[in-house]
Amino acid sequence: MHTFIPTSHFAERFAEMAPYVGNTPLYPIQKLSPNPRVKIFAKLEWQQMGGSVKARPAYRMMQDAIERGELSPKRSLLDASSGNTGIAYAVFAAVAGIPFTLFLPGNASKERKHILNTLGVNIRYTSPFESTDGAQREARELANADPKSYFYADQYNNENNWRAHYDTTGEEIIRQTGGKVTHFISGLGTTGTFTGTARRLKENVEGVKVIGLQPETALHGLEGWKHLETAKVPGIYDSCLADEIHLIDTLSAYEVLKDAARYEGLFLSPSSAANLLGAIRLAETIEEGTIVTVFPDDASKYSEVVDQLLSR
């Protein structure tokens, strides 16, 4: 299906996608902000190629591999994902004519499965009970068994994951707030968004506080998030960065999902709603400041969950 792209041109086609990654708007939260002296802003990350925050690391990891000669139409991209990184990979792979094999937990949403199939991804489904930990294990086994056929991106341990956010997300937040951001708060999944953004902010904004969010229990409904005490901790995670770690319960996040639609006109995914909940709770504890979070994606890939919530 990729034969219409000359093999010699794949790197050029891939590079043409760069302007469509990053540079997302910073959206002000108005009615749900609990403190008039605290401003809350969120990066609308679905407004880029691939439709989620994962466009940033996916592009960077593929770009580095292409530049080093490790990824081409003759060697398949391989990784594990709960969905959004997989979709971002798939979009860029389709443009460049690079084959892509993805290990995906079987409980990924039907919308994500449909998108990945439409993009021509070779999907290998893994146990829904092992989440992305099981998908990572099986992806690594295939990479080790046939290293010549696959480039294993290994997003949970690839330094280009967090570096993408260090170079783009963090820089954009500084520029868009005029350097006045006082707090950054974000959920922990692969931890790339938090690690890269927090590191850039701490190096460039005096006094900024960075807060990581994680589910309060191992069993939760926040797809892509990790309960670090019970899950395999990503190799790129720097535990020294966070000034604080706050816990988020799924049901409260779902309530904020409904409130965001009704009062802010935002149709959020559960993980975006969880980030907003974290920002709202933080705003209740400080006297003044500027809080920035990210909305990783919108609700378009979670219709069953969102429809149930909004119909209550």
* Residue pLDDT tens, the chain, 312 long: 444 445 568 999 999 999 999 999 999 999 999 999 999 999 999 999 999 999 999 999 999 999 999 999 999 999 999 889 999 999 999 999 999 999 999 988 888 899 999 999 999 999 988 888 899 999 999 999 999 999 999 999 999 999 999 999 999 999 999 999 999 999 999 999 999 999 999 999 999 999 999 998 777 878 778 888 878 899 999 999 999 999 999 999 999 999 999 999 999 999 999 999 999 999 999 999 999 999 999 998 887 666 666 566
Could you tell me the CA-to-CA distances from 194 to 22, 161, 164, 200 in Å, in that order?
A: 15, 10, 11, 10
The ranges of the chain annotated as CATH 3.40.50.1100 are 7-52+167-310, 55-152
Residue with tokens 């969010």: 213
* Contact between 150 and 98 (Cβ < 8 Å): no
Query: What's the CATH fold of domain 7-52+167-310?
Result: Rossmann fold (3.40.50)
Q: Quick one: pLDDT at residue 229? A: 81
Query: What's the CATH fold of domain 55-152?
Result: Rossmann fold (3.40.50)
Q: Quick one: pLDDT at residue 2? A: 42
Q: Quick one: pLDDT at residue 3? A: 44
Q: Quick one: pLDDT at residue 308? A: 61
Q: Quick one: pLDDT at residue 307? A: 66
Q: Quick one: pLDDT at residue 302? A: 83
Report the distance separating Cα 60 and Cα 73, nearest Å: 17
| 3-state secondary structure string across 255-273 | HHHHHHHHHHCCCECHHHH
